[in-house]
Amino acid sequence: MDIVYIRDLRIDTFIGIYDWEQQVRQTLSIDLEMATDVAATAAANEFSTTLDYKAISDRLLELIENQHFELLESLAEQIAQLLQDEFKVGWLRLRLGKPGAVPAAADVGVLIERGSVS
């Protein structure tokens, strides 16, 4: 299994269960690993056969930036579903962090894995 990854994609959005959190943009941090076959892409030397991390990043920005969310867990599931549906990602590991949410911690969040490696 080969991996295409995105590290520390930062997106500002409205997220949280408290009223004040729905009024103030907070930064989320996304780490994403997606299974792919790098050898097949390299052999074909064809861009259309790879996972396009720029297109994926742009799509995540579009999904997250201008919406309001309550739970990281719900957003993580939406992201995973989008990647599986729109980009045909068979397996992924997603870390969705909310830096600064707990003053004594550098980051808090959720880590999910979805799909299977073919």
Q: What is the reported pLDDT for 88?
A: 94
Computed from CA positions of residues 20, 77, 79, 91, in that sequence, does the dihedral angle turn out positive or negative? positive
Closest CA to 60 of 36, 26, 86: 86
CATH number, domain containing residue 39 = 3.30.1130.10
- Pairwise CA distance, residues 53 & 22, whole Å: 29
pTM over 0.85: yes
Q: Is the pLDDT of residue 108 over 80?
A: yes
| Domains identified in the chain, total number | 1
Q: Using 50, 70 and 90 to split pLDDT, how confident is the model at 118?
A: low
- 88 in active site: no
pLDDT in tens, 37-84: 888 777 777 776 789 999 999 999 999 998 999 999 999 999 999 999
Give mean pLDDT, residues 72-101.
Answer: 96
Find the catalytic residue in 13, 69, 75, 98: 98
Domain of 42 in residue numbering reads as: 2-115
Confidence at residue 117, expressed as pLDDT on a 0 to 100 scale: 81
